[in-house]
Amino acid sequence: MTRGLADVTAKNYKVGQSHYLRFGAANNLATQQLFPPSAATVLAFTAYLFMLPSFLSYNTTKSYLCHAKSVVTMLGHDGKSFACPRLAHALRTIKRERGSKVRAKRIPITVSLLATFLPFLDPSSTKHSALAAVLCVGVYGLFRSGELVPKDDSGATLLRRHILWDVDKVTIHLDHSKTDPFRVGVDVVIYANSTDTCPFAAFFRHWEAAPKQHPNAPAFQNDDGSAFTYTQLNNSIKNLATVAGLDHTRFSGHSLRIGGATSLAILGYPAHIIQTLGRWKSLSYQLYTRMSESTRKLVAQKLGSVARAKERNFFGGMALNDAYSLSLDTIEAVWKTK
């Protein structure tokens, strides 16, 4: 049943589910009392979470309840006890007592900002060429960073056998991703655009210089041929932000994906095109079926046209606060004003 979930989702769910099992063991509850639980048991679990010494926030408590409900429903129960009105009241109390964690919103790495970062990299370094390739491919392809580089040293996410080169484009095959839990796979095509931020050129330079070139080698490599990792990407982005005089704490690997979306919004592309290019789940049935290759190529060329920002105007005239507050619900308002 868990294979029906994306890997990262299944991994996150295990945290709350482990808490649920520990709660049952601490209170000597039989398996039948946990699966399915009564409304009273769910309330008791909520109280258990509230009293943990780690002082869980309202958001985390809600997430752990969701994780517990997931395993209950996967075992064939309806999970209706998690919809108890008393539970909703208890959660409101926790929200008032603990509040919600407010995460600092990430600043997008737009194409303009990408053009500012790249000159700081040494093209003779394999590690730096890998970083440049990931940055460019990530922004232009609206990739989740985990689709390009592994979260740890356990192995590469993307291998050389997943890459297919053509004259002016490269096709990147993803075996699976967050919105592809059934491992159907999807091809993302990246086009050349003859600019300083050209993702095709940046990737090809690294491809040619990679120490290991067999099909099962990582697509993005360090000087020793090991996989370039998410931790390296995250730290490098923060370092580049610092050098550029920006607040490094507001950047992460996710800045690539939202940067590509923000750049498209600045250019005036409507939300449905941005959602399709970014492979958001809400339009997953339309992936690569309702947008012609000529349109995709034109998008790549237009993205390259905004590679240079005047007077550090990285966000198309938007204030910084507006740039990092964009979401799929508000992004369409950007292009409507263009």
pLDDT digits (tens, 9 = 90+) for 9-66: 788 899 999 999 999 999 999 999 999 999 999 999 999 999 998 889 898 999 999 9
Q: What's the confidence (pLDDT) of residue 275?
A: 83
CB contact at 8 A, 284 and 234? no
Q: Name the residue with higher pLDDT: 180 or 170.
A: 170
Q: What is the CATH number of domain 111-336?
A: 1.10.443.10
Query: How far is Cα 47 from Cα 44, in angstroms, rounded to an integer?
Result: 5
Q: CB of 211 within 8 A of CB of 110?
A: no
Instruction: Kindly report, as residue ranges, where domains of CATH 1.10.150 are found in the chain.
Output: 2-98
Cα separation of 200 and 208, whole Å?
Answer: 12
- The reply to whether the predicted model has a pTM over 0.85 is no
Backbone angles phi, psi at 188, to 5 degrees: -110, 125
Between 4 and 204, the higher pLDDT residue: 204
Residues of the chain with CATH 1.10.443.10: 111-336
The CATH class for the domain spanning 2-98 reads mainly alpha
Token pair, residue 140, equals 């232009």
Rounded to whole angstroms, the Cα distance separating 288 from 141 reads: 13
